[in-house]
Amino acid sequence: MASQDSFGAKSTLDVDGKSYEIYRLDAIKGEGLDVESLPFSLKVLLENLLRTEDGADITADHIKAIAGWDAAADPDQEIQFTPARVIMQDFTGVPCVVDLATMREAMAELGGDATKINPLAPAEMVIDHSVIADVFGSPQAFERNVEIEYERNRERYQFLRWGQGAFDDFKVVPPGTGIVHQVNIEHLARVVMVRDGVAYPDTCVGTDSHTTMVNGIGVVGWGVGGIEAEAAMLGQPVSMLIPRVVGFKLSGELPDGSTATDLVLTITEMLREHGVVGKFVEFYGEGVSALPLANRATIGNMSPEFGSTIAVFPIDEQTVDYLRLTGRPEEQLALVEAYAKEQGLWHDPSAEPRYSERLELDVSTVVPSLAGPKRPQDRVEVTNAQDSFQKALADYTEDKAAKATVSLDGQEFEIGHGAVTIAAITSCTNTSNPSVMIGAALLAKKAVEKGLSRKPWVKTTLAPGSKVVSDYYDKSGLTPYLDKLGFNLVGYGCTTCIGNSGPLIPEVSAAVNEKDLAVVSVLSGNRNFEGRINPDIKMNYLASPPLVVAYALAGSMDLDLFNDALGQDQDGNDVFLKDIWPSPQEIETTIAQAISSEMFNDSYKDVFAGDERWQSLPTPEGNTFAWDPESTYVRRPPYFDGMPDEPEAVTDIVGARVLLKLGDSVTTDHISPAGAIKKDSPAGHYLAEHGVEQRDFNSYGSRRGNHEVMIRGTFANIRLRNQLAPGTEGGVTRDFTADGEVTSVFEASEHYQAAGTPLVVLAGKEYGSGSSRDWAAKGTALLGVKAVIAESYERIHRSNLIGMGVIPLQFPAGKTADDLGLTGAEIISISGIIELNDGTTPKTVTVKVEPAPGTDQSFGETSEFEATVRIDTPGEANYYRNGGIMQYVLRNLLKA
């Protein structure tokens, strides 16, 4: 649909003899409208509205609202942002394709055309989350892990191949290629898009929160839930408020000995402390020009750890140089530079755009750092790591002296608390960055030359984000040294960071569990939440790739990495970290000699074709998918069962019970099923009942296309603490249909739903922080939860709850569940929701709390409080009225 172009912005741009249609930002003039001093990110949103102005959802007033943006104001202006494309990984992407396939059937059942359910924006999926590091420390590790991956995921991959053929504008990057974020910045990102002769900024939404890695190359994009991504694919804009924008000024350069990882952990700590949830963060200043693009991508990747929506860098020479290095054609480079300069999107290091808030960092002050043991914002200087570990240990054990003896390969050794049992160079945050990857390999080379080796209890893995990393390791001759230390290639994908670390060394695992040791993982990723990395490991630390190698050599967090010896050389002399740490000059020289644009061209020339395994998979055909009733991987979900073509009236919630009462910082990792499926869990019982052997259970992530598995794994994280069942950990609750006995969350939910009892969840601050997991919301809804009442939310999960028909409410300011006397054993009713039927959104609703007969109560009288309704935009209200975003989209497409 053509723009109404109220400002006469439509124009042309000639680049090297080729003409493109553009919408000029400098055409927006008028009193109080100042485009030139806008932040880079808001200029991109402004162009988006100019180009998509339809006079209804997107009007001249919306355009003026951005052009005249008040940096000091709190967000209150809704806009409709239309992303240029959608990017997915397979864990979150498979449910998207399952839902699209189901929508096709629902469309047909409602009398519509099934083929209308089709991506209207380019959609690309990278299969990167399914490989598990089962085999490690062996030359055969990569091949064997890929074989196992195909054996486990055959049904899913056949389904995706069907989707690639059935849907237009949907492409799949097969397994064993790379991680979605690295493939995105190295190949898929355009920076400036061209479609139907129109040039415009590349923007995207992705089904992984770390989509923000693409912010490093000047692309405004962020993670959304799978349900939002589906809507974007179907042409629905993303409803959002014009955000506050935090300007982060950089000066100086990284000192010797500090890495991009140290920089990003420092920035993470600063921004978490400042508070940037729901805000855009934008980097500017002289220090940006000195920051290599790979470092920018590393910072952009960690935006969800800051809590910000994006963490973006404007376009400059570094951007164009990177596009050239990664094999983009010269025509594209010329367009990017010309377009950015024409539209005021080219970085001026001396400019001071108008920002809502400002921070500043002299990069030269950054020191070597870790983050842990359970949150990415908990930065620890390496010099203080041992003391910090010992202080944190008190939260994990009362017996600090516990030790275990392990016999392995004819050796006997002793391990205690703090033993490093996983050292993983993981694909997401750092492997797009040659400086830290070459640094790790050079450190490995120097260690091997000194006669050092990894400690025998450490599981060592290398999972690069693309094949280019292996190419430059091979060309520089560094691969053998990493192999010698056990850092053999295990796969190109998201392994340890997502919970696909595979089992610990069996003898080590047995010893850890026998003595209940608080052992450690060290990984170069971005997430270290409790229970995420490996069920045997209680403490997890984020670190740069060189420090990962160093800790594999040291074997313990309970030592001074800088001053204690890592081992002895061939002559029995102590070897210290400083003896093997590579200099910046060594790293730069190796990069210059080992990396070329030809590597990227070779790696990506047939990126969608896949290997022989992929090409030989039998592929179903047809416009609708033939569901296999026996499949335990891909099943038709119930979202549209019995759905009328017009939405039913919204109702209040009466007589609800509390399914869970949770504390602060409950992440989507705590809510959404992730990691291994335990034999004695509800999901394990389901699979066993369907004839699946335990060895073939695979992970929850790989079974996201089966709602029956995922419902059973929702709220089942082994570290979840439900205050309704004090003294327990994991997915259990009290079932008040069975006299309050403690049972699994899933079984209690079944009983409540059978009795027709609605459910609510009570929670503390920052509910739903972490990855953009659609199953955190889908599972919540399918368990029968109608409302969540929390002290505060993080953006993506709050939005996803609405997208699944669950209303997010907030306790009165400054009040907690405990302040209000709630134990979780009460009966709860919520009135005022029905006002949504009038086309308005109430600011508050009344929550009535009644004591339940025969249960423990801290009070005996009925009470009430007003809860804030966190449906923040009219678009979200429409989704809720329809029972969810998918139902809303389907009804709109049916009407069209």
State pLDDT tens for residues 534-589. 999 999 999 999 999 999 999 999 999 999 999 999 999 999 999 999 999 999 99
Q: CA-to-CA distance for 219 and 188, rounded, in angstroms?
A: 11
Tell me what the mean pLDDT of segment 837-847 comes to.
96
Q: How many domains does the chain have?
A: 4
Same domain, residue pair 856 and 737: yes
Same domain, residue pair 869 and 750: yes
Q: What is the DSSP string of 211-256?
A: GGGGGGGT-EEEE--HHHHHHHHTTPPEEEEPPPEEEEEEES-PPT
Same domain, residue pair 505 and 473: yes
Tell me what the mean pLDDT of segment 761-777 comes to.
88
Q: What is the pLDDT of residue 147?
A: 94
pLDDT range class, residue 388, cuts 50, 70, 90 = very high
Could you tell me the CATH number of the domain that includes residue 272? Answer: 3.40.1060.10
- Which residue matches tokens 């459910």? 759
Residue 768 lies in a domain: yes
pLDDT at position 859 over 60: no
Residue 409 lies in a domain: yes
Least confident of 4-8, 427-431, 661-665, 881-885: 427-431
Q: CA-to-CA distance for 774 and 794, rounded, in angstroms?
A: 14
Least confident of 248-252, 652-656, 888-892: 888-892
For residue 154, what is the DSSP state? H
pLDDT in tens, 582-612: 999 999 999 999 999 999 999 999 899 888 9
Same domain, residue pair 378 and 363: no
Residue 234 lies in a domain: no
Same domain, residue pair 800 and 826: yes
User: What ranges in 110-187 are assigned the alpha helix state H?
Assistant: 141-166, 180-183
Q: What is the pLDDT of residue 856?
A: 61
Hey, how many other C-beta atoms are within 10 angstroms of the C-beta on 854?
A: 10
Residue 629 lies in a domain: no
- Cα separation of the two ends of the chain: 14
pLDDT in tens, 525-538: 888 888 889 999 99
Residue where a domain stops, chosen among 595, 614, 631: 595
Could you tell me the CATH number of the domain that includes residue 568? Answer: 3.30.499.10
Residue 752 lies in a domain: yes
Same domain, residue pair 479 and 334: no
Q: What is the pLDDT of residue 633?
A: 93
pLDDT in tens, 30-75: 999 999 999 999 999 999 999 999 988 899 999 999 999 999 999 9
Same domain, residue pair 499 and 381: yes
Q: CA-to-CA distance for 289 and 348, rounded, in angstroms?
A: 9
pLDDT in tens, 447-498: 999 999 999 999 999 999 999 999 999 999 999 999 999 999 999 988 998 8
Residue 510 lies in a domain: yes
Q: CA-to-CA distance for 874 and 289, rounded, in angstroms?
A: 40
User: What ranges in 714-865 are assigned the alpha helix state H?
Assistant: 745-754, 774-782, 795-803
What value does the mean pLDDT of the chain take? Answer: 94
Same domain, residue pair 379 and 357: no
- Nearest of 267, 242, 462, 461 to residue 361 by alpha carbon: 267
Angle, helices 226-233/774-782, rounded to nearest 10 degrees = 110
Q: Is 23 left (phi over 0), alpha (psi -120 to 50) or beta?
A: beta
Q: What is the pLDDT of residue 428?
A: 82
Q: What residues have CB less than 8 Å from 839, skipping those under 6 apart?
A: none
Same domain, residue pair 341 and 379: no
Q: Which amino acid type is present at position 56?
A: A
Tell me what the mean pLDDT of segment 176-190 comes to.
95
Residue where a domain stops, chosen among 337, 367, 397: 367
Same domain, residue pair 339 and 416: no
Same domain, residue pair 305 and 385: no
Give the residue numbers spanning the domain of 468: 370-595
Residue 312 lies in a domain: yes
Q: What is the pLDDT of residue 805?
A: 96
Could you tell me the CATH number of the domain that includes residue 837? Answer: 3.20.19.10
Q: What is the pLDDT of residue 529?
A: 84
Q: CA-to-CA distance for 225 and 205, rounded, in angstroms?
A: 9
Q: What is the pLDDT of residue 809?
A: 98
Residue 268 lies in a domain: yes
Q: What is the pLDDT of residue 664?
A: 96
Same domain, residue pair 774 and 832: yes
pLDDT in tens, 812-831: 999 999 999 999 999 999 99
pLDDT range class, residue 855, cuts 50, 70, 90 = low
Q: What is the pLDDT of residue 226?
A: 81
pLDDT at position 857 over 70: no
Q: What is the pLDDT of residue 498?
A: 82
- % of the chain surpassing 70 pLDDT: 99
